[in-house]
Amino acid sequence: MARANGFHFLQIPGPTNVPDRILRAMAAPTMDHRGPAFQELGRHVLQVVKPIFGTKSHVVIFPSSGTGAWEAALVNTLSPGDTVVMAETGHFSSLWTEMAKRLGLDVRVLPGDWRRGAQPEAIAAALDADKERRIKAVCVVHNETSTGVTSRVGEIRKAIDATGHPALFMVDTISSLASIDYRQDEWKVDVTVAGSQKGLMLPPGISFNGISEKALAAHKASKMPRAFWDWTTQIKSNADGMFPYTPATNLLYGLKEACAMLMDEGMANVFARHQRHGAAARKAVAAWGLETVCQDAREHSGSLTAVWLPEGVNADKLRALILDKFDMSLGNGLSKLAGRAFRIGHLGAFSDLQLMGTLAGVEMGLKLFGVKLKASGIEAALESLAAAASERGAVRHAAE
Amino acid sequence: MARANGFHFLQIPGPTNVPDRILRAMAAPTMDHRGPAFQELGRHVLQVVKPIFGTKSHVVIFPSSGTGAWEAALVNTLSPGDTVVMAETGHFSSLWTEMAKRLGLDVRVLPGDWRRGAQPEAIAAALDADKERRIKAVCVVHNETSTGVTSRVGEIRKAIDATGHPALFMVDTISSLASIDYRQDEWKVDVTVAGSQKGLMLPPGISFNGISEKALAAHKASKMPRAFWDWTTQIKSNADGMFPYTPATNLLYGLKEACAMLMDEGMANVFARHQRHGAAARKAVAAWGLETVCQDAREHSGSLTAVWLPEGVNADKLRALILDKFDMSLGNGLSKLAGRAFRIGHLGAFSDLQLMGTLAGVEMGLKLFGVKLKASGIEAALESLAAAASERGAVRHAAE
Amino acid sequence: MARANGFHFLQIPGPTNVPDRILRAMAAPTMDHRGPAFQELGRHVLQVVKPIFGTKSHVVIFPSSGTGAWEAALVNTLSPGDTVVMAETGHFSSLWTEMAKRLGLDVRVLPGDWRRGAQPEAIAAALDADKERRIKAVCVVHNETSTGVTSRVGEIRKAIDATGHPALFMVDTISSLASIDYRQDEWKVDVTVAGSQKGLMLPPGISFNGISEKALAAHKASKMPRAFWDWTTQIKSNADGMFPYTPATNLLYGLKEACAMLMDEGMANVFARHQRHGAAARKAVAAWGLETVCQDAREHSGSLTAVWLPEGVNADKLRALILDKFDMSLGNGLSKLAGRAFRIGHLGAFSDLQLMGTLAGVEMGLKLFGVKLKASGIEAALESLAAAASERGAVRHAAE
Amino acid sequence: MARANGFHFLQIPGPTNVPDRILRAMAAPTMDHRGPAFQELGRHVLQVVKPIFGTKSHVVIFPSSGTGAWEAALVNTLSPGDTVVMAETGHFSSLWTEMAKRLGLDVRVLPGDWRRGAQPEAIAAALDADKERRIKAVCVVHNETSTGVTSRVGEIRKAIDATGHPALFMVDTISSLASIDYRQDEWKVDVTVAGSQKGLMLPPGISFNGISEKALAAHKASKMPRAFWDWTTQIKSNADGMFPYTPATNLLYGLKEACAMLMDEGMANVFARHQRHGAAARKAVAAWGLETVCQDAREHSGSLTAVWLPEGVNADKLRALILDKFDMSLGNGLSKLAGRAFRIGHLGAFSDLQLMGTLAGVEMGLKLFGVKLKASGIEAALESLAAAASERGAVRHAAE
């Protein structure tokens, strides 16, 4: 919502700042979803999303938010009463756990302290202990949006492989896809859960399941009741570029544009940009004398940075002050982090200068709120970004 | 998709022609769905949709297409194995029936010939026969999008009441809401199922359940597993103008605009406009010497007109010719109407002149396709519209 | 301005219905008009407009409306007191004449009755009589927007050539460019005057001068004071894709899109489409028993049709009724045609079905206004369009 | 041009960053500029711009860029050979001077060093010396866009008044209107020249003349040839909310929105915001150890800051590096400042955080370019903005 006094900084860890190119692409008139023009569009987007998932297998697209894709992953592959292992990494892994329980699954939670990712060792141990092969799936959140901790999915894969356990491996990439390096096929992930409103730079409203052949086999045998989420009807329609019921056509227009933009930048550059922004944000946090929620140097997120506040400083009041004074939205602390931490989203369509504006807003907010800062965070971030800039080529700035 | 050679006529019975005002409203940047500005938006849209449903009770909004709202209606109110009565009126009632079966319900279908609406007498008979009160719900499609037949919901209500049966009454209004007179509270409908892409003039992507107090009570007792579709979490969040998971924010921007536009025109005028267009379309069909699918004069739809073609005339080839020559999309015949009928959508944002262009395209297509026409359909339609125009006031044409 | 009750029919002879593709292209953020991205855009549009003018010579673009391009044509080529011949064809030729007088030129008007185009013979006679070669320019309106009469520019060229007179030949193509066949180089037109808001399908705000080498030579010698309109500074900047002062950047975005759309359709198809619509409109007028303003069968316009009304029928009241009842804007009768004639614009982005809707609106309006009609105009138009459709290929209807 | 890697920082001193609200308002379909809906729009915008000029007199709107409004000011009030006094303040005052000469006026330039505004004393001296009252107008650029120097218009008025000289007073406010305090009526300015693409936050394409009664009287007597720019025809049409020839309708849609946004913020807040940003930018420049072009503390611009670079540092190469590495456009040094200075635009729709991002981009660019900086500019700017924030209320961040 741009105003006379400038545009809003939407620095929650998603929905992210939707580029105007995408908003305009989405503003095209809705078309006949059973006609030839749509078919061309459908075929196109169903193909171009695949490299973003790092897969050559099926990717299905639901007209729903990411929560729906969580549900789709579970109801398409499992049967009532099945056992699943879910690694607790924060608020969102807990919500997924709760959903699994409501859907009638037997959930074994691997507890976590919300400051580290899913532990490969713990997952291996759980699988090793499961001599009867009751565990049908292991569920991990790649990038825990509530904490800014990225689980090491490749290492978890190796740990699972070492056990020889046949459980499916499901990964929520809602706040990592198209932001943090992810490789469905290489890491043998069976179901990837994703949404539109983060790295894909779209408004919320469509969600995804990346599906391995192994997951598809499990799907044939699974007994959970399902209709809206059913993969079989999706995949059957998708073969012709179509969808089994009315798709969210205008978001598909946006998806086409988003994929083109990502390919234009290059996925390696996209990932590097997010890493650079995460590193610069952490330099600022360290300079301020504050701590990130994430405590494992291998697991810092490129999508967002969650910051602990000193005892007695209320994060929500700080966020409200920053919103009031500087028109910037930051993420709140969720569940047990409520009031104690806030989150800086730096994912999606985002630049060095937008990050500097963001960190300046946080630093001004902290000052106005009376938080004692050790040193200038923005100067530290600037040093970090300037150093990175000297080593990389030009960003794209051409006409459309 | 406007081209140099003019704009596309999207005359399928939904998605409908999205007004540019709505497309532009939706092109605003996505906002923080946990912030105060969103809260204001959420509260607003959750209120302003209610009169469109004819209810003062709850209306919940899902980020999904209408098929999802079908599923939500069932899983929120019923328990596995419950018996439901579904009136067969056409392709869409059959899809809903199929869904109910897949979700583990015991479905009793009241058969129909696809040329009439749900029969109040048949429903009453089914309920009367159910002495053990096994039937938990009666499901009816208000406007069967595949046939252009509108079931008489008010009369069905009376028939149900006459039996004293306590079954819930669920109505699919996907292609009738905001087009054909509908009154949830007055007709004591327990669950209204609706979508965004028809009378609401929005792109597809959000869907609705209007929920009576009786339905809410059934919900508390129902045992179908559910998470994404759960009403309780929706209603709880809605109390503050919020949603339990990321909503389809940009469609909510559009919904706000759509409701404002409908209120500006006045619902009575909206309904009258759709009736007028249906009547004029039927005048054209009759002049051509063709037949509508609908065979009950009380049940003609104001949203669409489905036209039977003479033996030997392939509807899909006719539609392809019209698309090629005149850039107009018409609805195909579905399931057992495939190839035999086509559908003219005249719902949503639509005017007399758009209807005349539409009917001219059909008439030219019929001529080019070699169908013998009895008389000029467009002249008959024009007479009908001119007569109506002489009796009504000015349409709105003011600046925005 | 689309409303719930459908979109507005903007059937004045310009501004025309701007395709949503162009509106969205124009909604891109304004860029630095001195940067490399702009330079790329500037070079592009300055080239792609040339075939639309039928020229390989210079085309300059002013951030002004078409009236400015009239002024630019005069002040760039003439000196105070110079004699110019202007053919009276209607309201707009008269306005151009008035402008020339105000700018201090000596104008010789070749009178006309507003129902025929500029007469080649009359122009030849005027030049022949000018033994002292005082006449510096002949000015003709290609398509007189106030009457729907197209002057025969090619024949006028031949008539001028026959006299051997060296006068410049200036042609206003404001309502013909990109609608009616026009060939600057082949017809040796020295200055073409054009605007954005008609056949180019853009909003008003940029205008054009197509400039021959002969005009450029005259420019060097001309003495009219000028600054904003000066060709020399334009052409100098244009060499690098730039403009001498801030250009109307967002309209240039639209121009790029418009040229792409026209090229996609093919100029021959664009012209044929306009001729087809003009012919169909005249069939309707004849069927109604009314008369067009244009009285020379060689000069009927493909852009608009001006219709005479029977004595006693007030055109402005008729137009007001049609606007009120059917949300369609028609062109008014100008100057001496005021109240007696109205104009149906059928230029720019326009289709057979839009024309049928337009003519239906006119026919309904005439009926409601009590005008006695001989026969159904829309049926006559439909016959004409259907016949044409049977002979041509498919229109484009692909996804963008 | 937003890309996957974030949006472009358009920090030239105009065109400015157009808010998406305005871009969307402008994307509405063009309407009939002779119909009642347009009339309503015309009346509205012609009124609401007046307070922005600080006038209750006439403001006319041309479909042209600001250069056209310069020409309009001159040709509407003067006669060939008239003497005008023009204060040299930089590149743009020089261009206006050149235009006046080309239009046949006798221009007396009051020379300046491009680092100070127009000197009230020098203007007074010139008028005093003009005993024969040959000087018909004094022309001053309020905010010289090439230098970031704001002339003290109120003081100049007083100096003129002190001489009792009757010359008209014309002020170019192209880069000051709606950014820097300006009061046409209070300061008895006779013609205000303005454009759309700076403080008014619109794309380029419309320009303005604010006209005093005294200017209107001069207009009646003036003899410069004119047609397109003629005030009389404008004012006559404007009386009914209309324009004498096709207006730039879609920019008028944007103007309506822009005026609403400015009124919503409040002009005093708008001016204060620009002053705050100018002050913070200068803090950064001083911290870096660099110098602004402006050398009079009373004359620093709130719209832009022009920065001198040390000997040997090429400003254009620095700007190219910043564009390449950080996707930010800065203004170049013009004419005699070419290569020696660059300009930071901070006008129009702009926020504290956008300014911080902008200054960070400049600081990183300077570092990468090898310019030795004395201290952190962004930290100095942040201190300045944080101090200001603590004293003011909340910015607006409400839903639209």
The chain C residues in contact with chain A (CB within 8 A) are: 20-21, 24, 27-29, 31, 36-38, 40-41, 397-400
Among A20, A27, A41, select the one facing C29 at the smallest CB separation.
Answer: A20
Predicted confidence band of residue A393 (pLDDT cuts 50, 70, 90): confident
Which residue in A111, A191, A121, A193 sits closest to A160, CA to CA? A121
The answer on pLDDT for B34 being more than 70 is: yes
Question: What tens digit of pLDDT does each residue of B380-390 get?
Answer: 999 999 999 99
Predicted confidence band of residue B4 (pLDDT cuts 50, 70, 90): confident
Question: What tens digit of pLDDT does each residue of C2-57 get?
Answer: 577 899 999 999 999 999 999 999 999 999 999 999 999 999 999 999 999 999 99
**Which chains border B (3 or more CB–CB pairs < 8 Å)?**
A, C, D
The pLDDT of residue B400:
40
**Which chains border D (3 or more CB–CB pairs < 8 Å)?**
A, B, C
Q: Do A64 and B66 touch (CB under 8 A)?
A: no
The pLDDT of residue B398:
44
Task: Read off the amino acid at residue A394.
Answer: A
The pLDDT of residue D398:
43
- Mean pLDDT on D222-244: 98
Percent of chain A with pLDDT over 70: 98
The answer on pLDDT for D399 being more than 80 is: no
- Mean pLDDT on B287-297: 98
**Which chains border A (3 or more CB–CB pairs < 8 Å)?**
B, C, D
- Mean pLDDT on C230-257: 98
Predicted confidence band of residue A396 (pLDDT cuts 50, 70, 90): low
Give Dmax (Cα) for chain C.
Answer: 65
Q: Do B204 and A230 touch (CB under 8 A)?
A: no
Does a cis peptide bond (omega within 30 degrees of 0) precede residue C15?
yes
Q: Under DSSP, is residue D291 helix (H, G, I), strand (E, B) or coil?
A: strand
Quick one: tokens of A301?
Answer: 């997120």
Cα gap A236→A245, rounded to integer Å: 12
Q: Do B28 and D20 touch (CB under 8 A)?
A: yes
- Mean pLDDT on B286-313: 98
Using a CB-CB distance cutoff of 8 angstroms, which residues of chain D are in contact with residue C24? 27
Task: Read off the amino acid at residue B73.
Answer: A
Could you report the predicted ipTM of this complex, rounded to two decimals?
0.97
Using a CB-CB distance cutoff of 8 angstroms, which residues of chain B are in contact with residue A80? 225
Residue of D70, D208, D222, D245 to mutate, testing the C interface (most C Cβ within 10 Å of its Cβ): D245
Q: Do D326 and A262 touch (CB under 8 A)?
A: no
Predicted confidence band of residue C399 (pLDDT cuts 50, 70, 90): very low
Percent of chain C with pLDDT over 70: 98
Question: What tens digit of pLDDT does each residue of B75-88 get?
Answer: 999 999 999 999 99
The pLDDT of residue A67:
98
Cα gap D213→D190, rounded to integer Å: 8
Cα gap B373→B366, rounded to integer Å: 8
Nearest residue on chain A to D363, alpha-carbon basis:
A382
The pLDDT of residue B396:
62
The answer on pLDDT for A217 being more than 70 is: yes
Using a CB-CB distance cutoff of 8 angstroms, which residues of chain A are in contact with residue C41? 399
Predicted confidence band of residue B265 (pLDDT cuts 50, 70, 90): very high
**B45 CA: distance to closest CA in chain C (Å):** 17
Compute chain D's Rg from CA coordinates. 21
**C74 CA: distance to closest CA in chain D (Å):** 11
How many CB pairs below 8 A link A and B? 190
Nearest residue on chain D to A397, alpha-carbon basis:
D327
Q: Do D325 and A389 touch (CB under 8 A)?
A: yes
Q: Which DSSP string corresponds to C356-393?
A: HHHHHHHHHHHHHTT---SS-HHHHHHHHHHHHHHHS-
Q: Do D360 and A353 touch (CB under 8 A)?
A: yes
**D37 CA: distance to closest CA in chain B (Å):** 5
Using a CB-CB distance cutoff of 8 angstroms, which residues of chain D are in contact with residue B400? 28
**A346 CA: distance to closest CA in chain D (Å):** 10
Predicted confidence band of residue D396 (pLDDT cuts 50, 70, 90): low
Q: Do C67 and D195 touch (CB under 8 A)?
A: no
Indicate the burial class of D184 (C-beta count within 10 angstroms; 0-12, 13-18, 19 or more).
buried
Cα gap A74→A292, rounded to integer Å: 32
How many CB pairs below 8 A link A and D? 217
**Which chains border C (3 or more CB–CB pairs < 8 Å)?**
A, B, D
Nearest residue on chain A to D274, alpha-carbon basis:
A5
Q: What's the mean per-residue pLDDT of chain A? A: 96
Q: What's the mean per-residue pLDDT of chain C? A: 96
The answer on pLDDT for A214 being more than 60 is: yes
The pLDDT of residue B2:
59
Quick one: tokens of B342?
Answer: 């086509």
**B170 CA: distance to closest CA in chain A (Å):** 18
Contacts 24+ apart (CB under 8 A), D166-170: D166/D133, D167/D85, D167/D127, D167/D133, D167/D135, D167/D136, D167/D137, D167/D138, D168/D77, D168/D136, D168/D137, D168/D138, D168/D214, D168/D215, D168/D218, D169/D137, D169/D138, D169/D140, D170/D73, D170/D77, D170/D137, D170/D138, D170/D139, D170/D140
**A66 CA: distance to closest CA in chain B (Å):** 8
Using a CB-CB distance cutoff of 8 angstroms, which residues of chain C are in contact with residue A20? 27-29
Using a CB-CB distance cutoff of 8 angstroms, which residues of chain B are in contact with residue A16? 30
The pLDDT of residue C165:
98
Q: Do A197 and B10 touch (CB under 8 A)?
A: no
Question: What tens digit of pLDDT does each residue of A240-267 get?
Answer: 999 999 999 999 999 999 999 999 999 9
Check: pTM over 0.95? Answer yes or no: yes
Domain ranges of chain B: 9-16+266-399, 20-263
Architecture label for domain B9-16+266-399: Alpha-Beta Complex (3.90)
Q: Do B23 and A18 touch (CB under 8 A)?
A: no
- Mean pLDDT on D72-82: 98
**Is the separation of the CB atoms in A383 and A283 below 8 Å?**
yes
Give Dmax (Cα) for chain B.
Answer: 65
Q: Do A10 and B27 touch (CB under 8 A)?
A: no
**Domain topology for D20-263:** Aspartate Aminotransferase; domain 2 (3.40.640)
Cα gap C129→B397, rounded to integer Å: 54
Contacts for A346 with CB less than 8 Å, ≥ 6 apart = A11, A274, A277, A278, A281, A302, A303, A304, A305, A355, A358
Predicted confidence band of residue D2 (pLDDT cuts 50, 70, 90): low
Using a CB-CB distance cutoff of 8 angstroms, which residues of chain B are in contact with residue A33? 15, 204
Q: A9-16+266-399 and A20-263: same fold?
A: no
Neighbouring C-beta atoms of residue A134, cutoff 10 Å? 13
Among A20, A28, A38, select the one facing C28 at the smallest CB separation.
Answer: A20
Predicted confidence band of residue A209 (pLDDT cuts 50, 70, 90): very high
